[in-house]
Amino acid sequence: MLLFPELKPEDFRPWINEDEAAQKGVSPEDYACQQAELWRKGLAEWDQEPSRIRKLLDSVDIAVYTPGSNAGLQLSILNSFDAPSASLIEDSDLFR
């Protein structure tokens, strides 16, 4: 979901690791610039243009499923562990 069509440093800034920036001896803002440039170059090496990121964002619905949390779309697999109904158990073909 972290898709930045314009690959701007300010888009990367909230997501960079500030400890990593400090270890490299650069400010978080400079590190965000470095990351944006790294991504821009990396995508260019694969002949991928930022416009493809925009096309992806415009073409799909992005969702975060969060088991056991209200932070995103809830997901529960525990219901699939319920015992089958009596009518299903009685129909041997269906039960198999």
DSSP 81: G
The pLDDT of 70-81, averaged and rounded, is 78
- Which distant-in-sequence residues (6+ apart) come within 8 Å of 51 by Cβ? 5
Question: Taking all residues of the chain, what is their mean pLDDT, rounded to a whole number?
Answer: 90
Q: How confident is the model at residue 12 (pLDDT cuts 50, 70, 90)?
A: very high
Question: What does the pLDDT read at residue 23?
Answer: 96
In the three-class reduction of DSSP (H, G, I as helix; E, B as strand; rest coil), residue 96 is classed as coil
> Which tops the pLDDT comparison, 28 or 63?
28
User: Which pLDDT score is estimated for 51?
Assistant: 92
| pTM, full prediction | 0.65
Per DSSP (E only), the strands in 1-96 are 65-67, 73-75
The whole-angstrom separation of Cα 68 and Cα 75 is 7
User: Does residue 57 contact residue 3 with C-beta atoms inside 8 Å?
Assistant: yes
What is the rounded distance in angstroms from the CA atom of residue 87 to the CA atom of residue 53? 50
Query: Region 58-69: what's the mean pLDDT?
Result: 87
CB 92 within 8 A of CB 44: no
The Cα 37–Cα 12 span in angstroms is 10
